[in-house]
Amino acid sequence: MQKASIAHLRREYRNRGLTEKEAASNPFNLFEKWFQEALKARVLDANAMALTTVSPQGRPSARMVLLKGYDEKGFVFYTNYQSHKARDLARHPAASLLFFWPQLSRQVRIDGRVKRVPDWESDEYFQTRPRGSQLSAWASDQSRAIPDRGILEKRMRELEKKYRGQIVPRPPHWGGYRLSPETIEFWKGRPSRLHDRLVYLRKAGRWKRERLAP
């Protein structure tokens, strides 16, 4: 089988750059601006982010999750508390997030400490989910080996019958996490790979901004 060459795959970034004058002193203000611009540009799954955790053996593990809330306290996502990511966070409660918005030639990398959100916050969010998503949170033993897909579909049918005409409660094994950032880096693609990189570092409760070489 002939292998396709990928060495030549590249594109030149020609959008506007990122200057210190344009960047807010508070990284959350800049994130809000960029996130709203990603939504306006109709970036597909603009709230999708790569979440990287560290296993008990010290190995990094990455997967895509969805951002479901953010403010100056941090960035919130939801998952099964028995999943691989949750087990990693129980042992090593630090993680990294990465947003990539290719249409805008932008990415944001966020490092920080992670802890569960309060139960009431998970309860409130759970009731905003589509009913099918609520039921699947009960049906799936996330990250566990199963014999086939049929077992999931059977479990869903049982749950649909069980909760017919009722509010679906949040499973005790499912809820949210908040990553409280210690570092937030904004990357903007520029011509000839001389990209813009502005990083915000939290020191003694205050943010310090630096420019990094690309």
| Residues with catalytic function | 193
**Residue 198: which residues within 8 A CB-CB, separation 6 or more?**
18, 20, 23, 185, 186, 209, 210, 211, 212
Strand partners, 109: 98, 185
At 123, the amino acid letter reads D
Q: CB burial class (10 A; 0-12, 13-18, 19+) of residue 58?
A: exposed
At 179, the amino acid letter reads L
Look at residues 98, 103, 73 and name the one whose alpha carbon lies nearest to residue 177. Answer: 73
